Amino acid sequence: MPAASAAAGPGERERESEFESEFDRDTALTLKEPGVYHAEVSGGWSIVSAVNGGYLTAMLGRALAGTLPHPHPFTVTAHFLTATRPGPAVIRTSVARTGTTLSTGSASLHQTDEHGRETERIRLLGTYGDLTRLSDSVRTSAKPPVLPPPEQCVPVADAPDGALPGDLTMLDRLAARLDPDTVGWALGRPSGRGEVRGWFALADGRELDPLALLLVGDALPPTAFDLGLAGGWVPTIEYTTHVRALPAPGPVRVAISTRNLAGGFLEEDAEIWDSADRLVAQSRQLARAPRG
Amino acid sequence: MPAASAAAGPGERERESEFESEFDRDTALTLKEPGVYHAEVSGGWSIVSAVNGGYLTAMLGRALAGTLPHPHPFTVTAHFLTATRPGPAVIRTSVARTGTTLSTGSASLHQTDEHGRETERIRLLGTYGDLTRLSDSVRTSAKPPVLPPPEQCVPVADAPDGALPGDLTMLDRLAARLDPDTVGWALGRPSGRGEVRGWFALADGRELDPLALLLVGDALPPTAFDLGLAGGWVPTIEYTTHVRALPAPGPVRVAISTRNLAGGFLEEDAEIWDSADRLVAQSRQLARAPRG
């Protein structure tokens, strides 16, 4: 926000420049050699029994943004191979093509496993561009989710004991509030529709940008809970996000739904709408259904 | 169909074994060294001004099926880098992980460009499994598209002259019939809804299998035509398909929709339903909107 910075007094400017968000700190990378980054996976984004896949996708997305000439993920797909652990990691990127308006590349996250062997945890493929250069034309037939105002929604951190299983560390970093109509599962009364809706922001006030949107589509409780499969882990196999516009400041509204729970797998579709009523991202993931 | 083969007379068996479908012939690969395949991109799947992306995805999908220990694509994402041309190509695969139930790997298609340089055309990332080993449980809340019977639908090849621009070679290989309610664009009267629905089969009668489903989600006319942007090419940037079940024999029903045409890009969501009313695949692509 350059205008605000310019208008602020020296003290305020200093505070702004010192502010480092949890998200930026925990996705920070150190360039080791061209295209290769050292990363430190934070334990602060653990949820249930794993490090959150959206957080990890954003970390790899940052690495690819550093390697490709374009700044913003337009479409990013991550495949989760083995469980990433908090601690050091190496991210290797590979450029497939650099063009005038779009560039494409891959990134892989590796860690040393308990036997001292380097193991690939995540492989990602993405095409990047510059969202500030897109035309202003919008013909979106989708409608934003209808949600009560945030103060009438339920903070995720207020879930009753046991409603969310396992490690809940990540919740401290999220200012997420769920539509009361989609939290019945927390009280043992899932709707069965496979829908979760809510408001989302980062708890420390960092505004959402295209990299942070890679987190958002995987940051609300899984639709499997609303399908009556609460209590289990819903491991993501693959997670694709299309970032379609720069989000306006403020919290976003997120609507997640599952239409096809079958054969032990399910998809989760998320739409993310900003404060200016723009559909800023669409994501889909394929996940294993919990045994319920 | 082993039962049918066993019951057939020798003549019929011979005919069966001699039958090679256009799809299988045109996605056939020759192993050059472990993980590396020679391919011959056919001109028979050209449409408008390019080789169809679904056909090419199926070809790379076949290469990855040859490299990974699991037979069926569960989730496959292709990024289209430069225009693939009919003619020879090399596909290189890379294994990310092989597990008990799932395996993941990458594949890249390369061709020699007009300057004699090897150029990457497509990069693909996929996770494979065995669809025959999934549980029978189905809890699909999505409903199959409501379509008139095939005889009341409009063969794609019957489009009036000029309604589909450019090269229409691929249409000879498809037995696709569109819901009359979604073909107004061919007569200059697009509905503006961004929907295309129809029946789909391969023209030579080859039954659809998981690899062929990778073609189907990109084989009907683009929703952009129904949005009133007929006449232009809609280049796919990225195309992801989840194959969720083995399709039953017979034609499938396909419903494609676009909810967000903005900034010069659009997504296309396809659902593919088989003759047993199973949602066998869900695909989404990000494409550039034609200028209209």
The residue of chain B with its CA nearest to that of A135 is B263
Cβ–Cβ of B136/A263 closer than 8 Å?
yes
Enumerate residues 89 to 118 of chain B having a beta carbon within 8 A of any beta carbon in chain A: 96-97, 102, 104, 106, 108
In a domain? residue A3: no
Q: Let me know if residue A2 belongs to a domain.
A: no
Residue B4 is assigned to a structural domain of this protein: no
Kindly provide the ipTM of the predicted complex, given to two decimals: 0.93
A42 conformational bin, left if phi > 0, alpha if psi -120 to 50, beta if neither: beta
CATH of the domain at B251: 2.40.160.210
Q: How many angstroms separate the CA atoms of A219 and A163, rounded?
A: 16
Q: Per-residue pLDDT averaged across B126-149, rounded?
A: 96
Structural domain contains residue B175: yes
Tokens of residue A101, six digits? 């308006």
B14 pLDDT exceeds 50? Answer: no
Strand A174-178, strand A138-140: pairing = unpaired
Work out how many domains chain B is built from and give that number. 1
Q: In sequence order, what are the residues at sequence separation of 6 or more whose Cβ sits closer than 8 angstroms to the Cβ of residue B57? A: B76, B78, B122, B124, B214, B215, B218, B239, B241
CB contact under 8 A, B135 and A284: no
CA A286 to CA A284: how far, in whole Å? 7
Residues of chain A found within 8 Å of residue B134, distances taken between Cβ atoms: 262-265
- What's A145's DSSP letter? P
**Range(s) of the domain holding residue B185:** 18-130+147-288
- Residue B267 covered by a domain: yes
- Within a domain: A11: no
Tell me: the pLDDT tens digits for B19-35? 889 999 999 999 999 99
Query: Which residues of A are less than 8 Å from B139 in CB distance?
Result: 227, 261-262
Q: What is the pLDDT along chain A (292 residues), one digit of tens a residue?
A: 333 333 334 444 445 567 889 999 999 999 999 999 999 999 999 998 899 999 999 999 999 999 999 999 999 999 999 999 999 999 999 999 999 999 999 999 999 998 999 999 999 999 999 999 999 999 999 999 999 999 999 998 887 777 777 888 999 999 999 999 999 998 889 999 999 999 999 999 999 999 999 999 999 999 999 999 876 789 999 999 999 999 999 999 999 999 999 999 999 999 999 999 999 999 999 999 987 5
CB pair distance less than 8 Å for B142 and A259:
yes
Chain A closest CA to B31's CA: distance in Å? Answer: 23
Token pair for residue A59? 């970390």
For A259, phi and psi rounded to 5 degrees?
Answer: -110, -15
pLDDT of B9 higher than 80: no
Residue A14 in any domain: the answer is: no
Share of chain B above pLDDT 70, in %: 93
* HSE-CB of B224 using CA atoms within 13 angstroms: 25
B34, part of any domain: yes
- CB contact B282 to A (< 8 Å): yes
